[in-house]
Amino acid sequence: MIRFDSDYLEGAHPAVLSRLVETNQAQTPGYGEDPFCREAADRIRAWCQAPRAAVHFLVGGTQANRTVIASVLRPHQGVVAADSGHIAVHETGAIENAGHKVLTVPGAEGKVTAQAVEALCAAHFADASFEHTVQPGMVYISNPTEIGTVYTQDELAALYAVCQKRGLPLYIDGARLGCALVSAECDYTIARMAELCDVFTIGGTKLGALFGEAIVITAQALQKDFRYFIKQNGGMLAKGRLLGLQFLALTENDLYLEIARCEVALAMELKAGLTQKGWGFLVDSPTNQQFPILPDTVLTELRQDFGFSTWQAMGGGMTAVRFCTSWATTREDIQTLLRSIPQA
Amino acid sequence: MIRFDSDYLEGAHPAVLSRLVETNQAQTPGYGEDPFCREAADRIRAWCQAPRAAVHFLVGGTQANRTVIASVLRPHQGVVAADSGHIAVHETGAIENAGHKVLTVPGAEGKVTAQAVEALCAAHFADASFEHTVQPGMVYISNPTEIGTVYTQDELAALYAVCQKRGLPLYIDGARLGCALVSAECDYTIARMAELCDVFTIGGTKLGALFGEAIVITAQALQKDFRYFIKQNGGMLAKGRLLGLQFLALTENDLYLEIARCEVALAMELKAGLTQKGWGFLVDSPTNQQFPILPDTVLTELRQDFGFSTWQAMGGGMTAVRFCTSWATTREDIQTLLRSIPQA
Amino acid sequence: MIRFDSDYLEGAHPAVLSRLVETNQAQTPGYGEDPFCREAADRIRAWCQAPRAAVHFLVGGTQANRTVIASVLRPHQGVVAADSGHIAVHETGAIENAGHKVLTVPGAEGKVTAQAVEALCAAHFADASFEHTVQPGMVYISNPTEIGTVYTQDELAALYAVCQKRGLPLYIDGARLGCALVSAECDYTIARMAELCDVFTIGGTKLGALFGEAIVITAQALQKDFRYFIKQNGGMLAKGRLLGLQFLALTENDLYLEIARCEVALAMELKAGLTQKGWGFLVDSPTNQQFPILPDTVLTELRQDFGFSTWQAMGGGMTAVRFCTSWATTREDIQTLLRSIPQA
Amino acid sequence: MIRFDSDYLEGAHPAVLSRLVETNQAQTPGYGEDPFCREAADRIRAWCQAPRAAVHFLVGGTQANRTVIASVLRPHQGVVAADSGHIAVHETGAIENAGHKVLTVPGAEGKVTAQAVEALCAAHFADASFEHTVQPGMVYISNPTEIGTVYTQDELAALYAVCQKRGLPLYIDGARLGCALVSAECDYTIARMAELCDVFTIGGTKLGALFGEAIVITAQALQKDFRYFIKQNGGMLAKGRLLGLQFLALTENDLYLEIARCEVALAMELKAGLTQKGWGFLVDSPTNQQFPILPDTVLTELRQDFGFSTWQAMGGGMTAVRFCTSWATTREDIQTLLRSIPQA
C-alpha cells in the first residue's frame, strides 16, 4: 500500500528528526522562550526581510488559525473567507467557537478576490441596518488554497489594497506555503508576500516537520500580547524548543523550499502522466495536491494498493479524488501509481 | 548550570525518542486514527482495567483541560476547583474563554475536599435566587496537586461520593500522575483511581515524553462526540501517531512508572538532604516537586549555577522556591545542588 | 407621513397598555416569578394544549433565539437555518457569539425543507472526516418566514419527521406567529403546531405588545435549567410581570389572533389593490408583510409620504420593497397608500 | 403584605407611565433611532456635562454589564471587581459566558480600592509567567455598591488614577446611581463622576422606570461600534423609544433625583427607627438598601406581614436581612414596619 491521502502520513524529514535527537539532552527554558526558538525566529525574520515581525511557533494549523483570528477580531466582527476556506469548512467551527462568524464569499478556484471583498464591505456599510449584521473584520486566505491553486502577485496586491482601504487585516494561512512559493504560478518571494499581508503562517507539518506552524506577524498593531492568546487557546507547548529546533532545521540550507520543490516536482510528474493518459482534473493545480477525475471502476481497483482521498462526485460514474505528495514520496511511488491507472 | 525549574526542560526519554526514530518512515492515517494510537489506547485501557473507557491523546495539558471541560459542561455551569488549581490560576482564562466560571474553593494543601464541594453545592441550591448564580457542573482536581501533594484513596472516595450525589462529573488532571502513583502517600493503583472519577489524564510531557497527555474517559455518558471537541479546540494533531507512539513506549515494561520512580526518588533525596541541613518546606510534598524555604541570600548565590522557580515570598528574607526533578535528572545533579546549599 | 416600515413602530394595543396601567401600583416578586406570569403561562399551555410545556417570557426576539439555541446545542454543534433565516443574517452574529455556526441551507421561499435537512445530515455523517466539520445539532425555522411565507402542516410534519429521525430538536421562531396562524395558507392550530416541534416562540412585539416573546418548550428534555440561561443571556427582566401582564391581555378574548387577523386582512387589502394595479411581488406572502416590486421613480415619490423598507434591487429600475401592517394600521392608511401608487 | 424585598416590585412612577400612554399611538423608527431616544441622550449629555459622550439605552442591568464589558475587553483580559460585585456573584456567569474571567479583589465595604487594583496589576506584570495568567483589562465598580455603600470623590479619584496609570478603563455600574448621588456620603455631582471614569450606567429600573439603563460612554476610544454589541447581546429593543421616553420623563424636572431622594429619605427613616430600637446593621449604608441584623424569632414574625430578603446568617440566632425602599414606598409603609419590630 502506498498512501497519497495527504502530506502528513509519515514522520519528519531526516534532517529535522536528527536535530531533535542531537539536542535531546540539552536543558532549555520551556514555553518557547529558549535559544532555539529565538534563533529560528531570527532566521525567519531574515528570510522574510521583515526585521520587525513577531514570530511565534504553534503545533498545528487549526490552532494557529483560531489563535490568530481570536487575537485580531473584536466580538462583533467576522472573518471573510472563501466558501472552500479551511476555517469555513474543516475546523469543526473553531472560529465560531471563538465567537466569530465566517463570512464566506464564493471562491474563484478557491481564491478570495479583491472584488468579492470590496463587494461584501460595500454591501455591509451601505445597509441602513448594518449594526444588525456581522461587520467584516479581517480576511483569511490560504496560499496555496485548499484545492492547490496559488495566488499571483497581482491578485495578492489587489486583495491587500482592498483590505487596507477597508481596514481589514489580511491573514494568509500558509499550511503548505512552500509549495506555493516554488510553484510555476508563483511570481514573488516570501519577502514580497510578507509585504502584501499583515500576518501569515509558514506550515511545517506538511513540509517535513513532525509538526509546527510559524506565525509571522508583520503588522505591529497585531503583535501585542500574542503569547497570552497562544496560552489561552491551548497552544503553548511546554517543551517549546521542539518547534524552534524543527524550524531551525527547515530554514537551514534552504531545506524548506527544497522539500517543497521535491513535493511539487513529483506532483507535476503525476499530473503530466495522468494528462498523457487522457484524464482531466477538477482544477489546474500547480502544487503538491492533484485532483484528477477518474472512473469509479478504476478507483475501486486503485484502492487496493493506494491510499487517496475522495473529493467530489462528478456524476456519470466519475469522481474527483485527491493525491498528495509529501517529503517522503519517491519518484518510484509516482511511477508505480501511474502504471496502475489505465488510459482514458 | 543545572536546571530544576521544571520537569519539561529536556527532550524525551531515550526509549520514547527511539520509537519515533524507528517508525519515522512508516505511513499511517492522520489525526489519531492510526494503529499506534489504537494500540496505545488498548494498553491504557488494560492498565486501568477500564475496558470500556474512551482514550484520546492530546499534545498539552491546558489543551486537555479546556477540551475536557468544554465537552462536559453546559453554558450555565462552572467547574469547581481549588483556588490553587491550574485551571484557576495558570491557563490564561482558557476555561472562561470557553464560557465557564471556575468556582474556586479553598484548597487543603492544594486539594479539593469532599466537604468543600458539598458546602458549595448546598449553598447554591439553598439560595432562592440560585438561577442568578453559576451552577456547579463538574469538579476538577490535580493529582498530584500543583504543590506536589497526593490524594489518598479515602479522600478520593469521599470526594467522588459527593460528586455522584450531586451529579457532578469528577475530572482528575494527571499532568504528573505517575509521580502521584509511585509516591509514598499513594494507597491505590491507577485502576482503582479510574473507578473513583469520570475522566482523567495521564500526563506524558513531564514524565518522559516530548509531549502528550492521554485522556481516559471512563464515564460512558461523557464519551460521545469527543473527537469533535479535540478538533474544535485545536488539539487534533495531523501526525497523531506521534502521540500513540510515545504512549506505546511509556506503557511498555512499566516505563512510565519507572520514570516516575526515578523522579520521585531523586526528589526524596533532595528533600532528605535539605531537611538534614535544617531547612523547612512550604508543604510536605511526596512527589517530584519540592518547595524548600531558603534565605534570599542563599538563593542569590544558587541562581548562578542552578535553575529553579521562585514560588512565594515568606517574609523575613525567606522565599519558598520550587525544585523539580525530571526523567533526565541524575543523582549527581542532586548531590551537586545539595553541596551548594549551606546548613540552616 | 404614514409608516409601513415595520410592525414595531407604535406602542401597544390599548388593551395591553391599560393592563399595565391598572396594575402599576401592585407589588409582585421580580424576575418572572409573579402571579401574572404564572397565569399567563397557564393560559398559553391551555391554548397550545401542551399541559407539560415550560413557558418563559423574554423581552426580544434575538434574545429569545440566542437563549434557546445556547440552551439546546453542545459546543461542537450548529443550528440549521435557511440562508434567509433571521439568525443567519440579522442578529449580528449572536449565535456565533454564543459559539455556534449557523449551518445554512437554501431556503424554498424562505422555508427550510425536510429534504434540505436530510441532505445536510446525510452529507455530514457520510463524510469520513465528519469530526472536522460542525455537527448539525438543531433546526431553526421562522413561521411566518422573514419574507412572509407560511409553512403548511405537511411541510412541518415532514420536516419534524426528519428532525426526529436525526435527533435534531426543531425550534420555530414565531416572532409573527399570529399572522401565520390566521393566514389563508395555514391548515393547523397552534396546538397542532406545538406537536410538530420541540420549542417555539409566540411573538408579542409585532402583535400588539410593547415587547415580549413567549418561549414554549414542549420537549421535556429541553426544559431543564432554562431560567439560568435567561439570566446568563441578560434576558431576565427585573419587573418580569410586565411580560406576564401583556401576555395575559393578549390571550384574553382571543386578542392575539384578533390583532393578527386585522394585520393580515389589511395586508391582503394592500396586496389585492397592488395586484389590481398590475404590480407584481417578490414572493406570494399571505401574511402582514408584503413585498411588491415597484419602479424606483414611483418609490422616490412614495417616500415623501410613506415609510417602507427597501428589500432588494430587481434590475431594470425596479426594486422590491416591504410594507408591513401593525396592530395600529387602519384601512384608511392602506387606502391612502394605494391611492398614491399608480397603475403599472 | 408590604414588600421591601427589592426596589423593582412595582410598575413605574406615574410620570413615567403617563409618558408611555400619551405617546402610544405615535409612529417612530425602531431600535433606538427615534427622536425620543435622541432627545433623552441629549438631556443626559447635558446633565453629565459630557457633550461628547455616547449614550445608549438598554433594558436591564446584567445586559448592560455584559454588553459594556464585552465591548471593552480583548479575549485574554479579565475585569477586576470586588468579590461582592454583581458581575462576580449574581449574573449567572454572564461575563465568563462572554469569555472573560472576573478577577476579584477583596471589597472594602463592597468597594474596590485603588490599592487593591494597583496590587493586582503589580503582581500580574511582575510575574515572569504573566502570559499564563489573565491580564487585568478593566475595572468594574458599583455605585452605590451591592451593599448600599457609596464611593467618595477621593476614593473615585484615587481609583481612576490607578486605572489610568495601568491603562484600565473604569466602568461604574449605576443600577441605583440616583441613590448614591443624593446620599449624605456623596461629595460630587454626576458631572464630576463622569470625569472620573470611562463609562457608567444610570439605572432606571430601580428608580421609577418600568425598565431601562442608560449607558454613558465618555471615553471616545470605547464608543466605536457599540450598537453592534447591543444587537449581538440581544439588547436592541425593537420599540426602542420606550427607553428614550422613560428617560425623558426621568430627566425632566429633576425627577430621577427626586425619586432617589424619596427612596433614601425613607430608608434613613427606617435606619433611624431601627437604631433607636437598638438594632445594629451589617454595614452603614447611606442609600435605599438597609441591612439590619435581627433575631430569627423576630424575622419569623415579620415575614407574615412584610417581604424582605435574607442576606447573611450572623450566628447566635441573628440574621442580616435587606429592606429596600422604592419609588412607591410610603412613610406609612415604613412606620408600619417599624411598629412591627420590637426593641432590642
What's at D96, amino acid-wise?
Answer: E
Picking from B92, B215, B324, B337 by the largest number of A CB atoms within 10 A of its own CB, the best residue to mutate is B92
Nearest residue of chain B to residue A8 (CA atoms): B239
Question: Quick one: pLDDT at residue D314?
Answer: 96
Interchain contact, B134 vs D92, CB within 8 Å: yes
Asked if pLDDT for residue C120 goes beyond 90, the answer is yes
pLDDT digits (tens, 9 = 90+) for C165-175: 999 999 999 99
Picking from D63, D92, D309, D322 by the largest number of B CB atoms within 10 A of its own CB, the best residue to mutate is D92
| B78 contact residues in D (CB cutoff 8 A) | 93, 96
Nearest residue of chain C to residue B238 (CA atoms): C132
pLDDT digits (tens, 9 = 90+) for B185-238: 999 999 999 999 999 999 999 999 999 999 999 999 999 999 999 999 999 999
**Mean predicted confidence (pLDDT) in D86-104:** 98
**Mean predicted confidence (pLDDT) in D300-318:** 96
pLDDT digits (tens, 9 = 90+) for A70-107: 999 999 999 999 999 999 999 999 999 999 999 999 99
Distance to chain B for C231, nearest Cα, Å: 6
For a pLDDT cut of 70, what percent of chain C falls above it? 100
Asked if pLDDT for residue C127 goes beyond 90, the answer is no
Quote the ipTM score: 0.97
C323's enclosing H/E stretch is: strand C318-324
**Mean predicted confidence (pLDDT) in B106-116:** 97
Distance to chain B for D73, nearest Cα, Å: 12
Rounded CA gap, D286 and D144, in Å? 9
pLDDT digits (tens, 9 = 90+) for A177-222: 999 999 999 999 999 999 999 999 999 999 999 999 999 999 999 9
**Mean predicted confidence (pLDDT) in C213-221:** 98
Interchain contact, B225 vs C132, CB within 8 Å: no
Interchain contact, B92 vs A235, CB within 8 Å: no
- Interface partners of B (3+ CB pairs, < 8 Å)? A, C, D
Least confident span in A321-335, B93-107, D118-132, D307-321 = D118-132
Asked if pLDDT for residue D11 goes beyond 90, the answer is yes
| C230 contact residues in B (CB cutoff 8 A) | 131
Rounded CA gap, B171 and A311, in Å? 40
Interchain contact, C90 vs A134, CB within 8 Å: no
Distance to chain A for B77, nearest Cα, Å: 17
Lookup result for grid cell 491546558: B62
pTM: 0.97
For the sheet with A213-217, list strands across it. Answer: A54-58, A213-217, A199-203, A170-173, A135-142, A77-82, A102-105
Asked if pLDDT for residue C193 goes beyond 90, the answer is yes
For a pLDDT cut of 90, what percent of chain B falls above it? 99
pLDDT digits (tens, 9 = 90+) for A25-50: 999 999 999 999 999 999 999 999 99
Asked if pLDDT for residue D73 goes beyond 90, the answer is yes
Interchain contact, D242 vs C11, CB within 8 Å: yes
Question: Quick one: pLDDT at residue C129?
Answer: 82
**Mean predicted confidence (pLDDT) in B303-325:** 97
Res. D127 pLDDT band, cuts 50 70 90? confident
Distance to chain A for B63, nearest Cα, Å: 4
User: CA nearest B182: which of B79, B255, B275?
Assistant: B255
Query: Three cell numbers at C13?
Result: 394595543
Average pLDDT score, chain B: 97
| A313 contact residues in C (CB cutoff 8 A) | none
Average pLDDT score, chain D: 97
Res. B129 pLDDT band, cuts 50 70 90? confident
Q: Closest CB to B229: pick one of C75, C132, C228.
A: C75
Interchain contact, A228 vs D70, CB within 8 Å: no
Interchain contact, C134 vs A96, CB within 8 Å: yes
Asked if pLDDT for residue A129 goes beyond 90, the answer is no
Question: Quick one: pLDDT at residue B286?
Answer: 98
Q: Closest CB to B76: pick one of C31, C75, C225.
A: C225
Asked if pLDDT for residue A227 goes beyond 90, the answer is yes
Interchain contact, D24 vs C5, CB within 8 Å: no
Interchain contact, D237 vs C59, CB within 8 Å: yes
- Interface partners of D (3+ CB pairs, < 8 Å)? A, B, C
Interchain contact, A99 vs C101, CB within 8 Å: no
Asked if pLDDT for residue D129 goes beyond 90, the answer is no
User: CA nearest B174: which of B162, B182, B166?
Assistant: B182
Q: In this structure, what are the phi and psi dihedrals at residue A159, rounded to the nearest 5 degrees?
A: -65, -45
**Mean predicted confidence (pLDDT) in A329-344:** 97
Interchain contact, D75 vs A70, CB within 8 Å: yes
Distance to chain B for C64, nearest Cα, Å: 16
DSSP B93-152: THHHHTT--EEEE--BTTBPPHHHHHHHHHHHHHSTTGGGSPEEEEEEEESS-TTS----
| C205 contact residues in D (CB cutoff 8 A) | 238-239
pLDDT digits (tens, 9 = 90+) for C130-161: 999 999 999 999 999 999 999 999 999 999 99
Q: Closest CB to A101: pick one of C75, C96, C133.
A: C96
Asked if pLDDT for residue D128 goes beyond 90, the answer is no
Question: Quick one: pLDDT at residue D196?
Answer: 98
**Mean predicted confidence (pLDDT) in C107-136:** 95
SS (H, E, C) chain A: CEECCCCCCCCCCHHHHHHHHHCCCCCCCCCCCCHHHHHHHHHHHHHCCCCCCEEEEECCHHHHHHHHHHHHCCCCEEEEEECCCHHHHCCCCHHHHCCCCEEEECCECCECCHHHHHHHHHHHHHCCCHHHCCEEEEEEEECCCCCCCCCCHHHHHHHHHHHHHHCCCEEEECCCHHHHHCCCCCCCCHHHHHHCCCEEEEECCCCCCCCCEEEEECCHHHCCCHHHHHHHCCCCCCCCHHHHHHHHHHCCCCHHHHHHHHHHHHHHHHHHHHHHCCCCECCCCCCCEECEEEEHHHHHHHCCCEECEEEEEEECCEEEEEEECCCCCCHHHHHHHHHCCCCC
